[in-house]
Amino acid sequence: MSGRRIRAMFVKELRHIVRDGRSLGMALGVPVLLLLLFGFALSLDVDRIPTLVYDQDRTAESRELIARFQGSRFFQIRGFVSDYGVIEREIDRGAVLLAVVIPQKYGERLTGGHRTQVQLLLDGSDSNTASIAKGYAETVVRGQDVVVKSAAQDRRAGIRMMVPVDARLRDWYNSTLESKNYVVPGLIAVILMIISALLTSLTIAREWESGTMEQLLSTPLRPAEMVLGKMLAFFVVGVVDSLIAVLVGVFVFEVPLRGNIFLLAATTGIFLVGALFWGIFISAVTKTQLLAYQLGILSSFLPAFLLSGFIYSVENMPGVIQVVTYIVPAKYFVTILKGIFLKGVGVEVLWVPILLLVVYAAIIFTAATNKLKAKLT
């Protein structure tokens, strides 16, 4: 391979990118737009749960329980009702997700040390949200149960009731449990995969359609030099996109960046190289820009969004799908980004996904070069 020919291909492709102002503007603007759109719209936080309260007891203890729900950021009391009919109607029309029904003699049984129950009625059409809301509500009810029974025991015997196990939870890496802190790093991986694949998926197909491929064939340029030169030109655009995405994540969404910024830059570069080579491979396989674009979308967006662990846990997927995820490079980059952003870990922890990204880039470069060589001969 000749460095001079690679540089010439790089300069030629870079000039073409700069001359096409609209495409360049979209290449730089779309990542920001997608990051802002998904970052603000895609929230997995379950809080401010619309809640109704049906208090059949109307005692000091039931009012204390209601106050606990009102004081929690996870619940938003929408009103107080006096029969089940209103609860059923409001849940049916989607106005509330949860209804808390406090039974008669709730306070009397609680202060007497007897077992008592609080009914929780949930809209189970969204099973995941309903399950989380149920967990939050049960925590509030149990907390009130312990406080009231402890106070009653203290009044009766002068002995403070001790809880057998005092469980204290500590959430590492994302102590506020805000979904944006793990959604945004994953979004960066997904967006860079989409943009990188689309940027280069049209490049060789465009050469065939415009007739300039014949001119390139008349030069001493080799397939590997063409692939590298084109990749390096779009790599410059990808680096700018990556910088913009990281700055938006840190300064707009305030996602903590705890790890080494140089490690972040290096791993992002490795991921970009593999993603750009994949786009060139697609472009080498097809001879029309339309087909290349369609294949680029299908092979980048869907796997990166669904199979990378960005939103859906890979461990919860069927076994066959879990095997498929091993060929999705975004899966490894999502792991790296979350490790650097949230955990602040280094190469000693992330070396496996980094190595797999390097292997992926090498394999796709070889495949793209061989495919282009087969088409040119």
What is the per-residue DSSP string for 178-196?
-THHHHHHHHHHHHHHHHH
353 pLDDT more than 90? yes
147 pLDDT more than 90? no
Indicate the Cα dihedral angle 352, 334, 181, 129, nearest 10°: -120
3-state secondary structure of 163: coil
What is the reported pLDDT for 262?
Answer: 95
How would residue 121 be classed by pLDDT, with cut points 50, 70 and 90? very high
319 pLDDT more than 60? yes
| Residue ranges with strand state E in 108-157 | 119-122
Residue 104: how many other CB atoms lie within 10 Å: 13
pLDDT digits (tens, 9 = 90+) for 7-55: 888 888 888 878 877 777 777 887 888 888 877 777 666 778 899 999 9
354 pLDDT more than 90? yes
Residue with the bigger pLDDT between 214 and 197: it is: 197
Tokens describing residue 185? 């790093």
Tokens describing residue 196? 């990188």
Q: Long-range contact list for 111-115, CB < 8 A, 24+ apart?
A: 111/61, 111/148, 111/149, 111/151, 111/152, 112/152, 113/149, 113/152, 113/153
Tokens 């938003």 sit on residue: 76
Distance CA 49, CA 73 (A): 9
Domains of the chain: 3-43+178-376 (no CATH), 49-157 (3.40.1710.10)
Share of the chain above pLDDT 90, in %: 25
158 pLDDT more than 60? no
163 pLDDT more than 60? no
How would residue 306 be classed by pLDDT, with cut points 50, 70 and 90? confident
What letters, b where the CB count within 10 A reaches 16 and e where it falls short, cover 198-213? Answer: bbbbbbbbbbbeeeeb
Distance CA 277, CA 369 (A): 9
How would residue 364 be classed by pLDDT, with cut points 50, 70 and 90? very high
How would residue 155 be classed by pLDDT, with cut points 50, 70 and 90? low
> What is the edge-to-edge ordering of all strands in the sheet holding 49-55?
75-80, 49-55, 98-102, 119-122
Q: What is the pTM of this model?
A: 0.77
3-state secondary structure of 55: strand
pLDDT digits (tens, 9 = 90+) for 242-296: 999 899 888 988 888 898 999 999 999 999 999 999 988 888 888 777 888 888 8
What is the reported pLDDT for 124?
Answer: 84
What is the reported pLDDT for 165?
Answer: 57
What is the reported pLDDT for 217?
Answer: 64
How would residue 116 be classed by pLDDT, with cut points 50, 70 and 90? confident
Indicate the Cα dihedral angle 146, 151, 157, 162, nearest 10°: 40
In angstroms, the Cα distances linking 95 to 52, 53, 98 are 10, 13, 10
Q: Which amino acid is at 125?
A: S
157 pLDDT more than 60? no
